[in-house]
Amino acid sequence: MRIRSFPYKGPNQLAEAPSCYHLIHKQISAFSDRQRFTLKNPFLSRPDKYQLRASGSVINCPLEMIYMKTLLLLPLAFVVTTGLQAEEAAFQASLTPDIAIYPRTTEIHGLSLNIWGENPQQSLNLGFVNGSTGDSGGLSWGLANYSDTYTGVAWAWVNYSKVKFTGWQDGLLNISQGNFIGLQSGWINVAEEFHGLQLGLLNYSENLNGVQVGFINVARNNPWFTEFPDKLATGFPFVNWSF
């Protein structure tokens, strides 16, 4: 076994020496009463078995022992990294959110095929019921789409957004409970905070900043003609606007 020695200046100055600390970048705890030192491993809950031996004015560092320990830790580091990457996946298939290839907390970057699926995602989302949680985006196409915060396109008979939607909702019924920026097109369009264009038979907005085109158009923040031309009316057929 090769031994590397260097002058010992005391526990508090150990990091200044060209020691094993610099070779493997681990924290060293000093036990000055017996002049013994152990290497702390960040992957383990206890110090490892290999010790740096202090004798008089030098500390002897068994290099092979440290190199071997470092090599043994590489597979463990790989397992930890793989475990973190397992929170993302390129493909998901779901019967329900709890009966799926991956759990509902896994973020999907790629393709989701669903009977009923629910994941955070940046993907193409196809199925009967497509749920997108957290901050998601992409294209969702099915019978029903629902989301928290979504950026992209949602096509379905029913589209529902809870927090924020940026993009295009198209369906028989489109509902935005939070903030909407973009285009709603369908038979019935409902939004709380709307910025953009509503195009449908019935358009309703609590706070409109844009244009409504349809058979019935309701903008609750509009007065009745008193702020024309910036705002048309609280309700008006064919067209309504608020800027």
Identify the pLDDT of residue 98.
96
81 & 96 share domain = no
pLDDT band at 61 (very low <50, low <70, confident <90, very high): very low
Identify the pLDDT of residue 120.
98
Identify which has the larger pLDDT, 5 or 193: 193
131 & 66 share domain = no
235 & 161 share domain = yes
166 & 182 share domain = yes
129 & 99 share domain = yes
235 & 151 share domain = yes
Identify the pLDDT of residue 45.
38
**What is the total residue count of the chain?**
243
Measured CA to CA, the distance from residue 241 to residue 156 in angstroms comes to: 26
Identify the pLDDT of residue 115.
98
52 & 118 share domain = no
114 & 191 share domain = yes
Which of 64, 85, 106 is where one domain is finished?
85
Q: What is the 3-state secondary structure (H, E, C) of the chain?
A: CCEEEEECCCHHHHHHCCCHHHHHCCEEEEECCCCEEEEECCCCCCCCCCEEEEECCEEEEEHHHHHHHHHHHHHHHHHHHHHHHCCEEEEEEEEECCEECCCCCCEEEEEEEEEEEEECEEEEEEEEEEEEEEEEEEEEEEEEEEEEEEEEEEECCEEEEEEEEEEEEEEEEEEEEEEEEEEEEEEEEEEEEEEEEEEEEEEEEEEEEEEEEEEEEEECCCCCCCCCCCECCCEEEEEEEEC
pLDDT digits (tens, 9 = 90+) for 118-174: 999 999 999 999 999 999 999 999 999 999 999 999 999 999 999 999 999 999 999
Identify the pLDDT of residue 193.
97
Question: Of 39-48, 98-107, 111-120, 171-180, where does mean pLDDT reach its minimum?
Answer: 39-48
173 & 119 share domain = yes
Identify the pLDDT of residue 211.
98
119 & 173 share domain = yes
Query: Once rounded to an integer, what is the mean pLDDT over residues 194-212?
Result: 98
Q: Tell me which residue range forms the domain holding 79.
A: 3-85
Query: Once rounded to an integer, what is the mean pLDDT over residues 13-37?
Result: 40
* Domains: count for the chain: 2
Which of 85, 106, 137 is where one domain is finished?
85
Place of tokens 């393709």: 111
Which of 55, 85, 115 is where one domain is finished?
85
81 & 111 share domain = no
Identify the pLDDT of residue 35.
39
80 & 158 share domain = no
Query: Once rounded to an integer, what is the mean pLDDT over residues 36-40?
Result: 39
